[in-house]
Structure 1
Amino acid sequence: MSGESCRVKANIHELKQSEQQWRQWRRFLHQHPELSYQEKETTAFVRRMLTEWGIPSRSGEHGHGIIADIAGSRPGPTVALRADMDALPIQDQKTCDYRSRQAGVMHACGHDGHTSVLLGLAKFFAENRQELNGNVRLIFQHAEEFTPGGAVAMIRAGALEGVDVVYGIHLWTPLQVGHIASAPGPFMAAADEFTIDVRGKGGHAGLPHEAVDSIYIGSQLVQSLQGIVSRQINPVQPAVVSVCSFQGGSSFNIIADQCQLKGTVRTFDEQTRHQIHNRIRQLTEHVTTMHGGMGELHYQDGYPSVVNHAREFERFERIGVEQMGSERVQRMPYVMAGEDFAYYLQKVPGCFMFVGAGNPDKGMVYPHHHPLFDIDEDALLIAGELLVSMTLDYMQTHTE
């Protein structure tokens, strides 16, 4: 074992001494969640910690997010690590002493854990500057949950300037704690949004021939949209079109003059993505016109697909096997959830990784964005060890 490898092992052991503090930070943040673009107190909390540890930092655009740098004692590459900080508009229904204190807002996706891990690593790297062959860039990002996402703004603010590689983790309850997963190439889906306003002609429910029923038209449109993937997209290209909201009408005996559909499109291939967009537009016009109504499509391109770089995935897989054993490192199948970490990977090489946070024995079985969502906090240290190892390994192999 090389001297560098010995130091890596020693450093990871040192992380375990701070694990309890990480859990405390995570529970504090879980009690005080803030929605996207409202992370004022969370940002202040992070900045206080960084200042205490002597880590210089600056804000992103309009005061959102934090970019901080830790310079090593020796020259080398710059490794960026990113954590998201925002919560969701969901009422926390758990029964525990760290339950959210903010009505209608909770950390239902693990971002409190992500922030706590990166805080722990900030302290760790600041205390071990002398062993860094390069620099660590810390990106505490706002608004991952809300399109267009905070990543774009952080990049505009210079979060990736001078960065050679970027890594991020997501605590993932569908994956058992003690396991990690990722994939080379396309990993998480592009996530687009659409709204369709259907307009007809209102009337009496007993005289439908004198009206143009917007709800009937909307229903026909839903059926047509669901057929895009099953009959018009190459079966080897993963894709989803889901209509998730159908709003219209106000009474049992009035034919609604308008209704509204809302949904999402998930894809991995850009050609498929554009094909579905165009087909939704064509169907909106055709179906509504055919039944005597009018339709207006509002389509918003969301986050692109998360595409991991092959060499950095190989690094993840090698390090994961070394640390945890091959049986605990998985190649993840396509994940239809979206992530704005994709924007970082479009700019510089990197890898996004899942760290298992589910545990049926502790009741951590609920999916992300569920009001009973929780994580096994044992995952925090695993995530920290993984990111430290990825960082130091990259520095070791790319030192000039």
Structure 2
Amino acid sequence: MQISDQIQQYRDELIALRRDFHRHPELGFEEHRTAEVVASYLKDLGLNPRRVAGTGVVALLEGSRPGPVLMLRADMDALPVIEENDVDYRSENPGVMHACGHDAHMAMLLIAANVLSQHRDEIAGTIKFVFQPNEEIAGALRMIEAGVLESPAVDAVMGIHVWTPLSSGRIGITAGPVMGGLDVFKMTIVGKGGHTGVPEDAIDPVIAAANLIQTVQTIQTREISNLKSTVIMFGKISGGTKSNIIPDRVDLEGSIRFLYKGGPDSIEQPTERFTRIAEQVCQTHRCTCQIEIIHENIPLINDPQMTALARDTAATVFGGKDAVVDNVTIASEDFSEFSERVPGVFMFLGAGNARKGTTISHHNPRFDIDEDVLTDGVAMHVHGALNYFNTMGKSKGGEHRLPHPSGT
């Protein structure tokens, strides 16, 4: 039986798994039921799943011959969103929803594990199935710290994300930077409260905040090349209690996203520039500021060889190269921590279908996907893995591994 026909036999089970996960969403590091379902399914395949980083699940499929180790990864966590979809698989956990497609990712990888387990004789190497918790807040680092890339050492990694901005029947696979780095900031501007009728007796943090919000936008237009994508966004501003009272403080929160390697050693240094301007603007307005920076994600960069392999695989799965497109977004993904350490490729599986109402953006309370694309995602996992072992994975030796950035 052809692999494509074999995958189609599991279509109903695939959708049922996705809908079960969707009904029972759990937040990061709280995926206890989810982990039990995943581990039970893998155990029924004859694998030996183990827990990593609390709610993470890892299982090995050893092929018939020795060779490299390929990691296939799916994320597990949901979002603190109240679902507005009127569907029979609507979230049953109030205030929590799979509004990013992680339910689909788990279902696709479980069925892929099922199919690949039946093709063990064709595998010269080992597949490490990884179900990762807390992707939304950098759970990959916890998995890495717990040794997910070791024992056995991983030589390459693949991941898939359903993507509603991309039409069903297409897949985005691009070499180089494909998702942004993300630094999150929290800031307090401190002034001196007073009466709005006598503003000269106060030190107004509100006008300092307004000036700061505008001025930091010059970073991406005047200090960093417009060929280097940089986005500075403020998502939260709070301060004051009444219209005629100047508050003594204003709190702001937001994010800095970039499609290049940031940090103090980079040329661009977006976060360092942000801090400098913020402090100087506050000083100009006689205010002080306290800034907390959380380095949440590094940019996700696809390895050229792994990307070429994935694009060739997709041309076969989707019946031609026309379905394979470039896709780059400044949104972030902590898969980047894996692909920073070993050669990796991250793919965007088109799941947007206007007729089915699945073109709504991720993280929206009405987010949903075109479930007809799920079998294509399974096929990319299965054929991608087999192609890897048939081409790039003919000898182990670890030559495909990249060193850790710190040199360790």
TM-score category of the 2 structures, normalised to the smaller one: over 0.9
> Percent of counterpart pairs with the same letter?
37
Q: Which residue of 1 aligns with 2:141?
A: 152
- Alpha-carbon distance in structure 2 between the residues aligned to 1:36 and 1:207: 48
Matching residue's letter, 1:32: H
Q: CA deviation at 1:158?
A: 2.1
Q: Which residue of 1 aligns with 2:217?
A: 226
Q: Which residue of 2 aligns with 1:343?
A: 337
Confirm or deny that 1:326 pairs with 2:321.
Answer: yes
Q: Which residue of 2 aligns with 1:3?
A: none
Q: Check conservation: 1:70, 1:136, Cα contact below 8 A.
A: yes
- Alpha-carbon distance in structure 2 between the residues aligned to 1:269 and 1:180: 23
Q: CA deviation at 1:273?
A: 7.7
1:270-285 matches, within 5 Å, as 270=261, 275-285=269-279
- Alpha-carbon distance in structure 1 between the residues aligned to 2:100 and 2:343: 25
Match of 1:396 among 386, 390, 402: 390
- Alpha-carbon distance in structure 1 between the residues aligned to 2:360 and 2:10: 27
Q: Which residue of 2 aligns with 1:141?
A: 132
1:198-213 matches, within 5 Å, as 198-213=189-204
Q: CA deviation at 1:274?
A: 5.5
Confirm or deny that 1:184 pairs with 2:178.
Answer: no
Structure 2 gaps, min length 5: 396-408
Q: Check conservation: 1:174, 1:365, Cα contact below 8 A.
A: yes
Deviations 1:227-284 (A, max 9, x none): 2112221111111111121111111111111011111111122256852112111112
Confirm or deny that 1:69 pairs with 2:75.
Answer: no
Deviations 1:56-84 (A, max 9, x none): 111112x2201110111222222110000
Q: CA deviation at 1:191?
A: 1.0
Q: Which residue of 1 aligns with 2:11?
A: 19
Matching residue's letter, 1:252: S
- Alpha-carbon distance in structure 2 between the residues aligned to 1:29 and 1:319: 28
Q: CA deviation at 1:131?
A: 2.5
Q: Check conservation: 2:184, 2:293, Cα contact below 8 A.
A: yes
Confirm or deny that 1:296 pairs with 2:297.
Answer: no
Q: Which residue of 2 aligns with 1:164?
A: 155
- Alpha-carbon distance in structure 1 between the residues aligned to 2:267 and 2:92: 40
Which secondary structure state, in structure 2, belongs to the residue aligned with residue 168 of structure 1? strand
Matching residue's letter, 1:152: L
- Alpha-carbon distance in structure 2 between the residues aligned to 1:17 and 1:277: 50
Q: Which residue of 1 aligns with 2:406?
A: none
- Alpha-carbon distance in structure 2 between the residues aligned to 1:270 and 1:323: 33
Q: Which residue of 2 aligns with 1:312?
A: 306
Q: CA deviation at 1:399?
A: 2.6
- Alpha-carbon distance in structure 2 between the residues aligned to 1:299 and 1:363: 38
- Alpha-carbon distance in structure 2 between the residues aligned to 1:11 and 1:156: 36
1:108-127 matches, within 5 Å, as 108-127=99-118
- Alpha-carbon distance in structure 2 between the residues aligned to 1:72 and 1:157: 24
Deviations 1:308-349 (A, max 9, x none): 1001111111122233212111022x3110000001111111
Q: Which residue of 2 aligns with 1:4?
A: none
Confirm or deny that 1:371 pairs with 2:368.
Answer: no
Q: Which residue of 2 aligns with 1:33?
A: 25
Matching residue's letter, 2:299: S
Deviations 1:155-214 (A, max 9, x none): 222222222211000000000111001210111110111111100011112111111111
Q: Check conservation: 1:83, 1:168, Cα contact below 8 A.
A: yes
- Alpha-carbon distance in structure 1 between the residues aligned to 2:91 and 2:317: 34
More displaced, 241-250 or 27-36?
241-250
Q: CA deviation at 1:49?
A: 1.1
Q: Which residue of 2 aligns with 1:217?
A: 208
1:4-15 matches, within 5 Å, as 10-15=2-7
- Alpha-carbon distance in structure 2 between the residues aligned to 1:375 and 1:341: 21
- Alpha-carbon distance in structure 1 between the residues aligned to 2:67 and 2:81: 43
Q: Check conservation: 1:267, 1:273, Cα contact below 8 A.
A: no
- Alpha-carbon distance in structure 2 between the residues aligned to 1:303 and 1:90: 22
Match of 1:385 among 379, 386, 394: 379
Q: Check conservation: 2:115, 2:382, Cα contact below 8 A.
A: no
- Alpha-carbon distance in structure 1 between the residues aligned to 2:279 and 2:122: 62
Q: Give the TM-score normalised by the residue count of structure 1.
A: 0.94
- Alpha-carbon distance in structure 2 between the residues aligned to 1:299 and 1:218: 17
More displaced, 207-216 or 122-131?
122-131
Q: Check conservation: 1:174, 1:357, Cα contact below 8 A.
A: yes
Higher helix share: 1
Confirm or deny that 1:43 pairs with 2:35.
Answer: yes
- Alpha-carbon distance in structure 2 between the residues aligned to 1:22 and 1:51: 17
Q: Give the TM-score normalised by the residue count of structure 2.
A: 0.92
Which secondary structure state, in structure 2, belongs to the residue aligned with residue 231 of structure 1? helix
Which secondary structure state, in structure 2, belongs to the residue aligned with residue 145 of structure 1? helix
Q: Check conservation: 2:25, 2:97, Cα contact below 8 A.
A: yes
Deviations 1:74-126 (A, max 9, x none): 22222110000000000000011001111111000000000011111122222
